[in-house]
Amino acid sequence: MSLSVEKKLSAASSVTLVDESPSNDKGEMCGSKYEIDDSCLRAYLDRVRSTTGVVASPHHEPDHAGIFRALEKRIISINEETCSPGEENSFFVCDLNELVTLYKNWRKELPRVTPHYAVKCNPNPKLLYYLAQMGVNFDCASKMEIAQILALGIHPDRIVYANPCKMSSYIRFAEKQGVLYTTFDNVEELHKIKKFHPSARLLLRITTDDSTAQCQLSTKYGAALSSVPELLQTCQDLQLNLVGVSFHVGSGASDFSSLYYAIRDARWVFDLAESSFTLPALTLLDVGGGFQLHSFKESSQVLRDGLEKFFPEGCGVRIIAEPGRYFAESTLTLATHVIAKRKVNDDEAMLYINDGVYGNLNCILFDHQNPTPRVLHHSDKFHYFDFDSSAPPHAVSKNHRYKVSIWGPTCDGLDCITKECYLNKDLVVGDWFYFPHLGAYTSSAATPFNGFDQIADTIYINEEEAQANIASL
Ligand SMILES: Cc1ncc(COP(=O)(O)O)c(C=O)c1O
């Protein structure tokens, strides 16, 4: 780091303000503008969790009746003994009205924050179309994702090309298509952008503490605060159009102190750019993804409070986010078929199903998920509403008599959905499982390994309700 850059860094770090912070139970404030007292922040977060926890899922139950009807209709139409290859494949049910409910809930909890859906999470064309109809914008990671969104007739200004390390040819593609917003976190990227897309509107992605998130991203992306002065200096020297800051607190985040700290750090970057450089005032904050339905009340409360302290309404900064999982997870249900069984004894078996970790259940490997298999069809009867049909080892009851391991269809031993699970029914070949809430980071990373179909069929439900609800938004 150069001396002048170091001076700018220390000058900016010493700036403090004495406005409101979250307080602990005794009413003591959690510190000044950049310095946060960790114990106060913890007390504040505990309070947020205890008050929002009782309504952890502020959202209605999924449309179980609609999902069940779609599953039942498809399964009744399949005769496992006579069907052609492919007809008994696993398939999704996608509830389009769920998307509208989720969006309404987003607007209620985070009215200041414009969502840019992270296409990587699930690029299902109909899901993207409905999100676009509602006015949701998009976060794209590659040329293909940009092209897919533009093909929907979306204006390029509604896209953030949120990948800090891009191929030069992809930068040229973005430039040609008029996609202006993009992220960066290193000096070399700035030189590429100067060469291939000099009018791009840049968001400096900073690192976060995402050590407790389900999927960590800051191991790979994000500038350390110590490198921010050099990056600002490079933007200034190259006369690039820096417009703001972005971060991501990790996908499947659970400790929202990282969100609060990240907003504080972003404020520090905004102030440093203004106080120590001749850059125009920054006007855009991108708070990334990491939102989940079950903790959305809590994360929203922390985000609202963090914004209120560091970027209060009227401060001239537009706030956007890049949610993926929040929109996709509960919208899709997967149904899979038992294709083989190896009995170990009367109460124990290995079950083989027609989807696995190389297909739509790749989330077990790539996304650290533990999807819940539930019995859908057994002995000529549907059991969708028996939500207690399966149990993991720690939750097993005497009702769950049958111990199973569940395996995918490929020849790889790694293709295991669960090594130990307990069912209340003795499943056989031809029976069906379903996996609720399986829309996030599933179909987007499925492979054709071993020659199995890569793309599963999707049945859409509640399309009319969704259309009517969108019209009344
Ligand atoms: C840059 C970026 N934005 C947004 C997301 C979406 O995150 P989430 O699905 O946790 O909301 C991701 C996920 O990897 C990401 O890498």
Which pLDDT score, from 0 to 100, does residue 11 have?
Answer: 42
Task: Kindly state if the Cβ of 140 falls inside 6 Å of ligand 1.
Answer: no
Task: Kindly state if the Cβ of 8 falls inside 6 Å of ligand 1.
Answer: no
Dihedral class, residue 27 (left if φ above 0, else alpha if ψ from -120 to 50, else beta): left
* Ligand 1 centroid to residue 324 C-alpha, Å: 6
Which pLDDT score, from 0 to 100, does residue 383 have?
Answer: 97
Q: Is there a single domain that holds both residue 302 and residue 364?
A: no
* Ligand 1 centroid to residue 288 C-alpha, Å: 7
Closest CA to 416 of 369, 456, 375, 361: 361
Give the bridge partners for 251, in sequence order. 215
Which pLDDT score, from 0 to 100, does residue 217 have?
Answer: 87
Q: Is there a single domain that holds both residue 168 and residue 261?
A: yes
Which pLDDT score, from 0 to 100, does residue 53 have?
Answer: 62
Query: Is 44 among the domain residues?
Result: no
Instruction: Choose the final residue of a domain: 311, 328, 345.
Output: 328
Query: Is 29 among the domain residues?
Result: no
Give the bridge partners for 245, in sequence order. 204, 285
Q: Is there a single domain that holds both residue 156 and residue 303?
A: yes
* Ligand 1 centroid to residue 325 C-alpha, Å: 8
Q: Is there a single domain that holds both residue 315 and residue 256?
A: yes
Q: What positions carry a catalytic annotation?
A: 411
Which pLDDT score, from 0 to 100, does residue 389 have?
Answer: 97
Which pLDDT score, from 0 to 100, does residue 212 have?
Answer: 81
Residue reference for tokens 């989720």? 102
Query: Is 148 among the domain residues?
Result: yes
Please tell me what DSSP assigns to residue 83.
Answer: P
Query: Is 248 among the domain residues?
Result: yes
Q: Is there a single domain that holds both residue 213 and residue 159?
A: yes
* Ligand 1 centroid to residue 374 C-alpha, Å: 28
Task: Kindly state if the Cβ of 287 falls inside 6 Å of ligand 1.
Answer: no
Which pLDDT score, from 0 to 100, does residue 382 have?
Answer: 98
Residue reference for tokens 């979306």? 154
Q: Is there a single domain that holds both residue 233 and residue 142?
A: yes
Q: What are the structure tokens assigned to 454, written together? A: 């890569």
Task: Kindly state if the Cβ of 431 falls inside 6 Å of ligand 1.
Answer: no
pLDDT along the chain (473 residues), means of 10: 46 38 55 80 89 59 94 95 94 97 96 98 98 98 98 98 98 98 98 98 95 85 97 98 97 90 97 96 98 94 97 98 98 98 97 98 95 96 96 93 98 97 97 98 96 95 97 94
Q: Is there a single domain that holds both residue 437 and residue 300?
A: no
Instruction: Choose the final residue of a domain: 308, 328, 348.
Output: 328
The tally of domains found in the chain comes to 2
CATH number of 301's domain: 3.20.20.10
Which pLDDT score, from 0 to 100, does residue 36 have?
Answer: 86
* Ligand 1 centroid to residue 223 C-alpha, Å: 17
Task: Kindly state if the Cβ of 439 falls inside 6 Å of ligand 1.
Answer: no
**Beta strands 284-286; 457-461: pairing state:** unpaired
Which pLDDT score, from 0 to 100, does residue 22 have?
Answer: 61
Count other Cβ atoms within 10 Å, centred on residue 3: 7
For the entire predicted model, the pTM comes to 0.93
CATH number of 71's domain: 2.40.37.10
Which pLDDT score, from 0 to 100, does residue 417 have?
Answer: 98
Q: Which atom of ligand 1 is nearest to the CA of 326?
A: 11
Instruction: Choose the final residue of a domain: 305, 328, 351.
Output: 328
Q: Is there a single domain that holds both residue 75 and residue 117?
A: no
Range of the domain at 440: 64-92+329-464
Query: Is 388 among the domain residues?
Result: yes
Q: Is there a single domain that holds both residue 291 and residue 366?
A: no
Nearest CA to ligand 1 atom 13: 251
Task: Kindly state if the Cβ of 291 falls inside 6 Å of ligand 1.
Answer: yes
